[in-house]
Amino acid sequence: MRIRLTSIFVDDQRAALAFYTDVLGFTVRHDIPLGDASWLTVVSPEDPDGPELLLEPAGHPAVEPYRDALVEDGIPLVQFAVDDVAAEYERLVARGVTFTQPPTDAGPVTVAVLDDTCGNLVQIVSPQPV
Amino acid sequence: MRSVADVFRALDDETRRLLLDGLVARGGQTLFELCTMLVTRHGLSSTRQAISQHLGVLEEAGLVVTERRGRTKLHWFRGEPLAAITERWPTDREDAP
């Protein structure tokens, strides 16, 4: 068994695509029209055959209260690995990204949490420099 | 009405004292951040609900204030209730033998 795809709910698929590609730096893997929405996935350019992230429309009525409660407490819904959280933080802040948690030493890793502008908090993580 | 007893009761717990330490070190933290801090720095594995309740006690005592930034709730330390203690029992009295 392998993890091939995971998903997050996004307010607007096109806005999400712009953020996840132009700002975060992922690339589109699939963008297949499917009724009113699309089967829209992105992958890391560093791992193009790796796990896909599905940007799923947030239409279900349960999504809003679920996400609101998590965002209120600062809880991220997805986590991405980066080489250097501090460098990514500088790069993304310069792009206008809002962080709810600045780079923080969390034992063996450094973490930070950002707002993806589509309704979710995203944690980035890098190993502690040796 | 808050009383000095509320402040002492709020302080009479190691987890709550560590939460205040964390907020003195850096204000404006989320519940998630504070939970991470307690686990990674102090090895405490209390539930998120328990930490939330501790923050509620501190907020009731006036030692923590919260404010929403966007959709996220952030916490800050507020030292003003501690001033009532040292006003009542000054720290600079030198008349003891």
Q: Name the E strands within A15-68.
A: 27-34, 37-43, 52-57
The predicted model gives B36-64 an average pLDDT of 93
Q: For residue B32, give the nearest of A75, A98, A107 by CB distance.
A: A75
pLDDT the model gives residue B92: 87
On whether residue B97 sits in a domain, the answer given is: no
**pLDDT of chain A along its 130 residues, tens only?**
999 999 999 999 999 999 999 999 999 999 999 999 999 999 999 999 999 999 999 989 999 999 999 999 999 999 999 999 999 999 999 999 999 999 999 888 999 999 999 999 999 999 987 6
Q: Other CB atoms closer than 10 Å to residue B82's CB: what's the count?
A: 15
Taking the CA of residue B79 and the nearest CA in chain A, the distance in Å comes to: 23
Which domains are assigned to chain A? Answer: 5-127 (3.10.180.10)
What's B83's domain CATH number? 1.10.10.10
Query: Which of these, B23, B18, B63, lies nearest to B41 by C-alpha position?
Result: B18
Report whether B30 contacts B74 (CB < 8 A): yes
Q: Characterize the bridge pairing of strands A5-10 and A52-57.
A: parallel
On whether residue B52 sits in a domain, the answer given is: yes
The ipTM assigned to this model is: 0.84
The whole-chain average pLDDT of chain B stands at 93
On whether residue B49 sits in a domain, the answer given is: yes
pLDDT the model gives residue B4: 86
Report whether B57 contacts B71 (CB < 8 A): no
Give me the total of CB pairs closer than 8 Å, taking one residue from chain A and one from chain B: 51
Number of domains present in the structure of chain B:
1
pLDDT the model gives residue A32: 97
- Domain span at residue B68 reads 4-88
Q: Which residues, including other chains, have CB under 8 Å from residue B66's CB and lie 6 or more apart?
A: B55, B59, B73, B74, B75, B76
> Residues 35-94, chain B: which have Cβ within 8 Å of A?
36-37, 40-41, 48, 52, 68-74
